[in-house]
Amino acid sequence: MSASLLIRCRDTSALRVAQTSIRTYAARNEAVADPKKEIIRKALYPGNIRNRASPTGTWRPDVARALQHAIPSVQAHNTIERAWLLHKRHVRKQREAELARKFECMRKAMEELQRVDSRLYMEANKREDPRARTDAERELAKKLKTTECRRTHHLARDGTMNGNHSLARSSILFLLLR
């Protein structure tokens, strides 16, 4: 008789769905709750969303049917794919044309600068070695700590101090040597 009870208990437990326990002793009175808050809570946190398609797309059992409805054939898919690649190519060509236009304007401006003032043209095209230091910077580096030396070299090299690009190299060295 006990064996038949165990078999019956096993059969019924296999059909049970796992449920979380509910604390009824700490639950709020439903009549006291604000109806607006309850409506919002039920909309945001539905009781069971496992068996429905969610609006955010986290679970869709009908995804194959939806795709078949939206894109009915391989030919339509390939057409859309080719159109997207064509659009990307047009955007890329527009960017390249804009860059070519800017480069041509810069080239014309540099030719004009060379024609007007060759000294400014040479200064604009001078390539500076970022590791190169002047004599004043070397003397200052001997006196400063390592971090201050790096900061001084960086400021003097870029000609900047706290993002202010109007300061020249000499004014930065003057400020640091004070």
Same domain, 78 and 111: yes
Please tell me whether residues 110 and 142 are part of one structural domain: no
Q: What is the pTM of this model?
A: 0.36
Please count the other Cβ atoms lying within 10 Å of the Cβ belonging to residue 161. 17
pLDDT over 80 at 107, yes or no: yes
The C-alpha angle 17, 28, 30, rounded to 5 degrees, equals: 85
User: Do 118 and 141 have their domain in common?
Assistant: no
> How many domains does one find in the chain?
2
Q: Directed axis angle between helix 169-177 and helix 135-143, to 10°?
A: 30
Q: Taking residues 69-97, report their average pLDDT.
A: 91
Per the rule left: phi > 0, alpha: psi between -120 and 50, beta: everything else, 163 is left
- pLDDT value at position 178? 47
**Structural domain harbouring 167:** 135-177
